[in-house]
A = this chain, B = another copy of it.
């Protein structure tokens, strides 16, 4: 499928590379492609600078948010949660209308230091904000409950014996997303319900961060044991 992945941090390129490796036609969306391709600072978590990563993934295009969305059937939001509304606004309503918008971001607020709080939280979620802001997009929240490496290689943790959640109002969009998740190797996909259930998926982040601290690694995932 034609997929745009928004975001040039750790998550976006990781997901883009995995989807490309599985045969999808992937483009990275960014505010200013020229600036992104001229970056010299290393990636987050000590990864390579974006141009170095891109040199190893030439089959993945780099385009503006608008151009990337316009040519795609699916848009993956892997931008920082605080910047997601602006990034999608830059893509433009018309380029999102009817598209499956997979929101894997978390609305982490680091303004008071670590650990971050969430904003929005409790009675709202980033997933709902995006669905309200782009009512013609078909928003599905998923994958935000694990680190990027586990998103794309679930078998790397406990042989893949753990869970991933989907939330969204559009049943067909959720089926499309389930297909992509299965393609990445996810076996236990739990449909939580409509997009308001994204609150639950996002509100696991404070626990995720503390488990990360307790274990000293992000290489874990939650499993719904039953």
Contact = CB atoms under 8 A, between A and B. Distances in A.
Interface in A135-177: 157-158, 161-162, 165
Nearest to A165: B207
Contact of A122 (B118, B193, B208): B118
Given A206-B199, A214-B190, A225 B223 contact: yes
Copies of this chain in the oligomer: 2
A147 to B, nearest CB: 11
Chain A interface helix/strand/loop/mixed = mixed
A224 B224 CA distance: 9
Contact of A224 (B112, B118, B192, B220): B220
Interface of A: 112, 117-118, 121-123, 157-158, 161-162, 165, 190-193, 197, 199-201, 203-204, 206-211, 213-215, 217, 219-226
**A-B pairs, 6 with minimum CB distance:** A200-B207, A220-B226, A158-B225, A162-B225, A200-B206, A223-B223
